[in-house]
Amino acid sequence: MNNPATLASTAAPGTARVARHRYRHTEGSASRLRLLSDAGLALAGAGGSSAAMSAILARALAFLSMEDGVLLFRHGDGLQVHAAQGAAYPVGASLPVTGTLHAALLEDALPQVQQNVQSRLLIGRSRAGGVEVLVPMRLHGRSTGILALITTRQAPPPSADDLDVLQVLATMLAAAYLSASKPAARIAGMETAAKLKQLTTRELQVFALMPRGLTNAAMAAELGIAAGTVKVHIERILHKLDLRDRTQAAVCAVDCGYGR
């Protein structure tokens, strides 16, 4: 006959493991909820302002226990830093869309996790990164940028649940950015007509294609012109309509009835 004491002693380790697992799961779920809750409060209080973006970036880094990070949004043909922490590129810096950054902006891109990577997003010290996480920021299928979180320490990669909540956070950031990117005085009604009259026929054709998120080369192929010519047209569109970048122009084009 089995000794009850022996049964208890053999069952206890398994019970303890289950208890620890449940505790970690509960704590993880609570921290994910806090991250989204804090982000929602920051956006509700300050919208897509730089202060709100910086606060959310800091919370995302704390969530993964990482030190360095950037919020990169599309700007022209590249990416521009809108919030930064640690040894990453500073606010206002521009980066070309190449390599892993290009991959993170693809239509079907998922969060990327790389270990022992030479992060191109770090400056001022060794760029060897323990872990680099790139989360695409998209809304309604439109890619707006990348949430990048980095640590130079050797650390375990984020769990699938953590990546899922970071993707939700990235969608919230994309929505806030696109909302803030709309011109303060929205082009509407007679004002819309007056502004659009400044565009040439070819510029209007390029403007109408912008909500589709096409590259200059893709636009050029559709219109039968050179990619360099498309770039010139876009620069003129931004100037004539007093818009900051391609993302803002795409939002404006949708507001004007294009790309729907």
pLDDT tens track for 195-212:
788 899 899 999 989 888
Phi, psi of 155 (to 5 degrees): -145, 155
pLDDT tens per residue across all 260 residues of the chain: 445 444 444 445 567 555 555 545 566 688 899 999 989 888 887 777 888 899 999 999 999 999 999 999 998 888 999 999 998 889 889 899 999 999 999 988 999 999 988 788 987 655 566 899 999 999 888 889 999 999 988 888 999 999 999 999 999 999 888 887 665 444 455 566 677 888 998 999 999 898 888 899 999 998 999 999 999 999 999 999 888 888 888 888 877 777 65
pLDDT of residue 111: 95
Looking at the chain, the domain(s) classified CATH 1.10.10.10 span 189-255
- Do 91 and 57 contact (CB within 8 A), yes or no? no
> Can you read off the two tokens belonging to residue 160?
């699938």
- Burial zone of 259 (CB within 10 Å; 0-12 exposed, 13-18 middle, 19+ buried): middle
Domain 22-181: CATH architecture, name and number where available: 2-Layer Sandwich (3.30)
For the chain, how big is the Rg over CA atoms in Å? 23
Classify 127 as helix, strand or coil: coil
pLDDT of residue 8: 42
- Do 38 and 59 contact (CB within 8 A), yes or no? yes
Domain 189-255: CATH architecture, name and number where available: Orthogonal Bundle (1.10)
pTM tops 0.75: no
Sign of CA dihedral 86, 89, 92, 97: negative
CA angle 172, 176, 179 (to 5 degrees): 140
Q: Which helix (H) or strand (E) holds 47?
A: none
Looking at the chain, the domain(s) classified CATH 3.30.450.40 span 22-181
Cα–Cα nearest to 168, from 26, 40, 27 = 40
pLDDT of residue 13: 56
pLDDT of residue 9: 46
CA distances in angstroms from 136 to 71, 125, 170, 180, 224, listed in the order given: 10, 26, 7, 19, 31
pLDDT of residue 202: 92
